[in-house]
Amino acid sequence: MADSSKNATISIDGQSYDLPIYSPTAGPDVIDIRKLYAQAGVFTYDPGYTSTASCDSTITFIDGDKGELLHRGYPIDQLASKSHYLEVCYLLLYGELPTAAQLEEFETTITRHTMLHEQMVNFFRGFRRDAHPMAIMVGVVGAMSAFYHDSTDISDPYQREVASHRLIAKMPTIAAWAYKYSVGQPFVYPRNDLSYAANFLHMCFAVPAEEYVVDPILARAMDRIFTLHADHEQNASTSTVRLASSSGANPFACIAAGVACLWGPAHGGANQACLEMLKEIGSPENIPEYIARAKDKNDPFRLMGFGHRVYKNFDPRAKVMKQSADEVLDLMGIENNPVLATAKELERAALDDPYFAEKKLFPNVDFYSGIILEAMGFPTSMFTPIFALSRTVGWVSQWKEMLNDPQNKIGRPRQLYLGSTQRDYVDIETR
């Protein structure tokens, strides 16, 4: 915890209370209210925790007004353009960029953990074929604690390390097998000679009947999707992982809780909502109508994939993702895909429209990632599982940081109770 050099004074019914103020290395100061209830008998009220710091962290920093996203101090656009996903995983987990030897050892460790326990195949086959891949992921990730007993003791640093590696390594296999199961194809096992992103694409799209070679442009685009979604500070799913872990739950249960939270359309389903909007628009000639609707305050239509709740300027991840989207569309072509043709024209029309520039409604990372995944051939039901796979390292890093925090205690939010006060039970005969 940072040292307090300032105080805030709050006055309640004429009584003043001094509260310490902590200054972060970046971002706004934080008022420590932990003793406010004991001293003044009041709670604070902050639905959605939009003004509350629930922890201190050294992993990720976001400045929404500046459009800034830093991982351990490194700007996301530099990491996405110059680094790759497993190097960013190392950075998030351990705080520093690895040396060549450290990175090689880390990549080898992750690569050799990608296989699933063979008995876990039965879990997939227990689901209906039309089960949503996220439903499968929630179940299978939680079930990992039943198979990997040697990495569930959170008090053992070595077991925490093994669990971290297993989750990062096995999540692509789980996501790919959830996809294969949904389309009725045989599972494809991981290959140690492929990169992390290429291995995932191979497990998703290879079939036993013929050889499948992963295009390096697609592998690079997928790696960037992973990188740009690796962590995003104390969002809903990350806070869920931290809250679950505060009870002492095993790591697989905590990450399964994060997967479940990410499933919500307001969180991990944003790029899926974007593609569904593009399909609703239908074709480029319909775009003027929908742009007019987006400007109409009385019309419920929303332009998905533009603007961001956190970033009040531009999404710093979008520039790099746009580059990958352009490369993928050039490779795959959009002539016979009305959804992609509509996306490209909508992007152009919105960027040229002064209304969207004034409102700072620029295309965000979800807009471009949805375009890329559609071009690769993924159904929209796989968009959120890919997000979960990408975010696993962020969840794991935050989980590890929380367990090492001496201030760690079980989460227990308070409430503003508005229900009935105490009343006596009435027998059913007299009601």
pLDDT averaged per 10 residues, the chain (length 431): 79 93 93 93 92 94 90 96 97 98 98 96 94 95 95 95 98 98 95 97 97 95 95 95 96 97 84 85 91 90 80 78 86 77 85 83 82 90 95 98 93 94 96 92
H or E element that contains 394: helix 383-403
165 is an active site residue:
no
User: Are 26 and 69 within 8 A, CB to CB?
Assistant: no
Per-residue pLDDT tens for 376-422? 999 999 999 999 999 999 999 999 999 999 988 999 999 999 999 99
pLDDT for position 326? 86
As a whole number of angstroms, the distance between CA 121 and CA 322 comes to 37
Query: 59 with 400: CB under 8 angstroms?
Result: no
Query: Among 285, 304, 286, which residue's Cα sits nearest to residue 294?
Result: 304
Cα 21 to chain centroid, rounded: 30
DSSP state of 310: S
Specify the CATH class of 6-53 in words: mainly beta
Residue 147, C-beta contacts closer than 8 angstroms, at least 6 positions apart: 117, 119, 120
Domain boundaries, the chain: 6-53, 73-266+387-403, 269-376
Contact in structure between 305 and 370 (CB atoms under 8 Å): yes
- Out of 223, 308, 326, 353, the active site residue is 308
169 close to 160: Cβ distance less than 8 angstroms: no
Amino acid at 281: I
CATH code: domain 269-376 is 1.10.230.10
Q: Is the dihedral of CA 21, 23, 28, 32 positive or negative?
A: negative
Q: What is the pLDDT of residue 46?
A: 94
CA dist 377 and 152 (Å) reads 36
Burial bucket for residue 265 (CB in 10 Å: 0-12, 13-18, 19+): exposed
DSSP helix/strand/coil, 403: helix
Question: What is the distance between the alpha carbons of residues 125 and 205, in angstroms, rounded to a whole number?
Answer: 19
Q: What pTM was estimated for this model as a whole? A: 0.91
The answer to whether residue 308 is catalytic is yes
3: its two tokens: 């040292």
Considering the segment(s) 73-266+387-403 as one domain, its CATH architecture is: Orthogonal Bundle (1.10)
- Please state, in angstroms and rounded to a whole number, the distance separating the CA atoms of residues 307 and 259: 24
Question: Angle at CA 160, nearest 5°, toward 158 and 165?
Answer: 95
Pairing of β 30-31 and β 15-22: antiparallel
Q: Do domains 6-53 and 73-266+387-403 have the same CATH topology?
A: no
Q: Residue 238: what pLDDT?
A: 97
